Amino acid sequence: MVESSVNDKIANMNYIGQKTPKEAADFLIKHDIVDHADFGKITDMELINDWSAALFDSIQKYPKLRESMRFTGAMQSQVDMAVKSLADDLVDYYKSNGYSEREAIKIAMKEAIESAPKADGMAWTWNPRGSNGEYYNAGGIAFNESREGICSNYIKEEIESGFWAKAKKDVSYIINHEIGHQLDHLLNLQSDTEIVSLYKHLKTNNKIINGVSGYANTDIEEFIAECWAEFKGSKNPRKYAKFVGERIIERYNEIN
């Protein structure tokens, strides 16, 4: 149902640059890219619009990602939303186990806050689940608002150093990397025989750093995400990124 809705709304559209963080958030929600968007303290509209355009393009092309893409914006806002959702879930649990509502709320909030991750790094993919196994509305891709001021230079330095793969040097690189993680999660790419075989071959022969990136050498998760970031963000992706990117599209098409 989600996929049909997304296709209907944005099939023939392009993202339209917005003037304020709230307008960008509202645009993404209105066009059913996410359920919730909150850019928190981020004010750089070039960053927000590049981020939103890359996410819009990804959901447009791969609408099944929408199933876990409930939120985008600032990590800090995402954590706040997740804490509230988890606390609400836990209140019901503790009440059902004999605690008063006041006691349940106190214990649930403390547990939710302690279990929430701390905003770290430039961006992340996070799909928190409730006790019933269902995704919270907070799941999705988020940017660390505290890194806004260093974002442009950081991306440029990481790509030029070879620690990140070769692609366009703006925040679209980061979101394409995170979309790579989402596709990995959706398609179980870490079990794909062709991708695993390539990864093991490159790892054994010490070819990942020069052939993809230093970050891709971390583990197979980052290898997949880095290949996708280059595949999507380069006009001429190198052979390993091209192989993995084309394999991901093939796998995605199999579930359509």
pLDDT tens for 171-223 read 999 999 999 999 999 999 999 999 999 999 999 999 999 999 999 999 999 99
Poorest-pLDDT segment among 14-28, 93-107, 135-149: 135-149
Rounded Cα gap, residues 174 and 55, in angstroms: 10
Contact criterion met (CB below 8 Å) for 11 and 60:
yes
> What CA–CA distances, in Å, run from 162 to 159, 202, 249?
5, 16, 25
Q: How crowded is residue 111: how many other Cβ atoms within 10 Å of its Cβ?
A: 16
pLDDT for 134 equals 54
Q: Quick one: which H or E segment has residue 111?
A: helix 101-115
Token reading at 180: 């790579």
pLDDT for 67 equals 87
Q: Characterize the bridge pairing of strands 140-143 and 123-126.
A: antiparallel
HSE of 55 in the Cβ direction (CA atoms, 13 Å)?
Answer: 33
Q: Is the CA virtual torsion 56, 20, 43, 35 positive or negative?
A: negative
Q: pTM here? A: 0.88
Q: How crowded is residue 206: how many other Cβ atoms within 10 Å of its Cβ?
A: 10
- Give per-residue pLDDT as tens, 89-101: 889 889 999 999 9
Does 231 have pLDDT greater than 70? Answer: yes
User: Average pLDDT, whole number, for the chain?
Assistant: 91
- Give per-residue pLDDT as tens, 28-73: 999 999 999 999 999 999 999 999 999 999 999 999 999 888 899 9
Rounded Cα gap, residues 74 and 44, in angstroms: 12
Rounded Cα gap, residues 237 and 231, in angstroms: 5
pLDDT for 2 equals 43
Q: What ranges make up the beta strands (E) of the chain?
A: 36-38, 71-74, 123-126, 140-143
pLDDT for 1 equals 35
